[in-house]
Amino acid sequence: MKVKILIPIYNDWRSVFKLLKNIDQQINDLNDEISVLIINDGSNEEKDEVSEFKNIKSIKIINMKKNKGHARCNAAGLKYIFENEDFDCVVPMDGDGEDRPEEIKLLIEKHKDYPEYVITANRVKRSEGFLFKLCYEAHKMITLIFTGQNIKFGNFTLLPKLIVEKMVNEKATWNSFSGSLRKVSKNIKSISSIRGPRYFGPSKMNFSDLIKHSLSIISVFKFTWLARSIIFLLIYCYFISNFISIITIIPVVVIIAMNAMIFTLSARENLNEYKDSLTNISGIDIIK
């Protein structure tokens, strides 16, 4: 089986080359052909020296002219692989160590049991602080209640070729990886995943990024969100009609503001931009 590992990177070369070394070690006993494509999202830092790799079949760095952000970097990588590579499945993962390379084997093993299914790595243990974890759980609960979608996964997944084809033809992929994946595929199995510590430096995900990430996922299902939020507001306003105050009106303001942000973010879903995304490539470096 030909597996392509897709790694977006921006100014974190120390981490990505350490990750490559760890992947090379972890796939030592696999009979599958493992290749890596690194999408360099307009980094301006110099690369570290490259080591020798025994087990990874090939390594390419796809250099982008302009920084487009993590989600669009992943989207462009999927499109490049689908149009230019011979593969059976793709494993997108972060390049900072938080997606653990030892779990790649678990994804592949699960895929062999369920070859038609997407395999996701669902976190059972996270390394962030209590408040961040609480907010992340709130994000998942709000998404489930207002969209009906139970999304417990991020980018770290295994995508069969058929799903990759669907994603590169889905405009939502240009805005939200997780939301798009849930939209195009209902056949999903999972493995338990532990979030690893970053190899170097603090996590780049802050509360502002978490909010944008959450609302981007919801924006894929914006009309379901809109319908359910209207129902919620009608019921809520009925019950507070005799108790209107600054405090009781806050949820109404929050829901209205979230609708505005969600529909604004949904405008990022642009299939024409996605189709032209590979014109952002400035060159390709062959590492192996």
Tell me the CATH number at 29.
Answer: 3.90.550.10
> Is 284 inside any structural domain?
no
Q: pLDDT tens digits, residue range 85-116?
A: 999 999 999 999 999 999 999 999 999 999 99
pLDDT band, very low/low/confident/very high, at 80 (cuts 50, 70, 90): very high
pLDDT surpasses 90 at 46: no
pLDDT surpasses 70 at 128: no
> Is 236 inside any structural domain?
yes
* Residue 137 · residue 62 · CB < 8 Å: no
Average pLDDT score over the chain = 91
Q: pLDDT tens digits, residue range 190-239?
A: 999 998 888 987 776 666 777 888 899 999 999 999 999 999 999 999 99
Domain containing 54: what range? 2-277
Q: Give the range among 27-41, 48-62, 99-113 with minimum mean pLDDT.
A: 48-62
Q: In the structure encoding, which two tokens stand for residue 80, read together?
A: 């490049």
> Is 13 inside any structural domain?
yes
> Is 287 inside any structural domain?
no
The reply to whether the predicted model has a pTM over 0.75 is yes
> Is 283 inside any structural domain?
no
> Is 285 inside any structural domain?
no
> Is 288 inside any structural domain?
no
DSSP 57: -
Parallel, antiparallel or unpaired: strands 118-125 and 188-194: parallel
Q: pLDDT tens digits, residue range 243-270?
A: 889 999 999 999 999 999 999 999 999 9
Considering its fold, how many domains does the chain have in total?
1
> Is 108 inside any structural domain?
yes
C-alpha closest to that of 186 among 114, 109, 118, 92: 118
User: What CA–CA distance (Å, rounded) separates 94 from 12?
Assistant: 11
